[in-house]
Amino acid sequence: MKIPPLISYLGKSIGFGLTVAALLLLMFPDFRGGAQLPGLITNARDLSFSYAAHRAGPAVVNIYTRSFARNQGNQAELRPQGLGSGVIMNPRGHVLTNYHVIADADQIIVALQDGRVFSAELVGTDQLTDLAVLYIESDNLPVIPQDPDRLPDVGDVVLAIGNPYNVGQTITQGIISATGRIGLSSMGPDSNGRQDLLQTDAAINEGNSGGALVNGRGDLVGINTAAYHLNSNQESYGISFAIPYKLAKRIMDELIANGRVIRGYLGISSVEINPIVARMMNLGDLRGLVIENLDPNGPAARGGLARGDVLLKINGEAISGVRSAMDKIVESRPGTKLTISVFRDGKPLELQVTIEEDLRYQQKQQNKNKNKNKGNANASAAAAS
């Protein structure tokens, strides 16, 4: 009698499975008593992030700010101003925090988790990325673990560490919800103030600003900076942001070296070439950026670039997108000569452009301060009359 193929296949599969099971029981006798496989988590209580918390927590500090104010006797006295967190980045005592945490402070106090308290010195600030570097002088400082080769990705588990509402160090857990959130804070004029923000659903409340966002190993992933609010009376839970570690570290290094961040300026705004733009402009398979506008007094105009030019390469490297091109420009030191390869009127061209320092944000702030001072002077004059 011939056995149907399906029954034969099932019989062979079952026989093979039983043979493998018997061999495993012979090799691992402990399995006969219902033992678990090594490393297998079968109970939610076994899942813990205590290793990451204990590894990173000591390097996250509380920051308190005070500012001078006039009392009833018209005498200046220091009064509490604000609250935030910070991260000890190296054994030399440099602490990274948010600019808005220490803005307008006359005194900055840094408190460690081991009970030590320091008066901090302000090294430098960068308003465009909302970062500030402080310095405290001490030995045996805990330093946040850092792994520059480990890039955050959507879905990674993260912990937000800080001092929300001054209740003491608190750790909240979530995941990275998105990466590359650009322009969600005050980034200055047009696209040169680019900032890649990480989005997370880990709770970041008042006092968490400047604290650490770490991964499941305790390595620094970002500097907590903001939570998204629909309005002043309503909180939007699950939408918070952090400045990525690599950007924060680069800004910190510049502030330590120069006291400020020096950005290159080309003076263009551009749009990436997609298939629709390529078809409209008869560009075929060309990929790059199309210059939409340019500063008539900027380096690009002086170097011969024109509206409608297609940017293909910078110093021989193909342009992969707006962000990569802006990175190359902004990170170029003033005085650097860049060779820009463009496509104009059906012909390839190479132009040399000298990068300048981007001072537009400083000029904008100066104009804002002038208008503020003028308004205060007018108000004083009106009060006097």
Site of tokens 């940017």: 311
The number of angstroms, rounded, from the C-alpha of 321 to the middle of its chain's C-alpha atoms is: 19
- For residue 370, the tally of other CB atoms under 10 A from its CB is 10
CA 233 → CA 64, 92, 105, 205, distances in Å? Answer: 25, 41, 26, 14
SS3 content of the chain, % helix, strand, coil (to 5): 30, 35, 35
The number of angstroms, rounded, from the C-alpha of 55 to the middle of its chain's C-alpha atoms is: 21
> Do 221 and 265 touch, CB atoms closer than 8 A?
no
Instruction: Choose, from 85, 94, 130, 341, the residue flagged as catalytic.
Output: 130
How is residue 364 written in tokens? Answer: 């904008």
Amino acid at 23: L
Instruction: Choose, from 191, 209, 270, 341, the residue flagged as catalytic.
Output: 209
How is residue 345 written in tokens? Answer: 């009127």
Alpha-carbon span 332 to 339, nearest angstrom: 12
Alpha-carbon span 353 to 350, nearest angstrom: 10
- Of 245, 297, 20, whose CA–CA distance to 129 is shortest? 245
Instruction: Choose, from 100, 191, 270, 332, the residue flagged as catalytic.
Output: 100
48 catalytic per annotation: no
Q: What residues does 122 pair with on adjacent strands?
A: 134
For residue 380, the SS3 value is: helix
* Contact residues for 98 (Cβ-Cβ < 8 A; gap 6+): 84, 130, 131, 132, 209, 210, 223, 224, 225
Continuous segment of H or E residues that includes residue 132 = strand 131-135
- Of 57, 62, 56, 59, whose CA–CA distance to 117 is shortest? 62
How is residue 119 written in tokens? Answer: 């008066």
229 catalytic per annotation: no
Alpha-carbon span 287 to 278, nearest angstrom: 8
Which residues have a catalytic role annotated?
Answer: 100, 130, 209
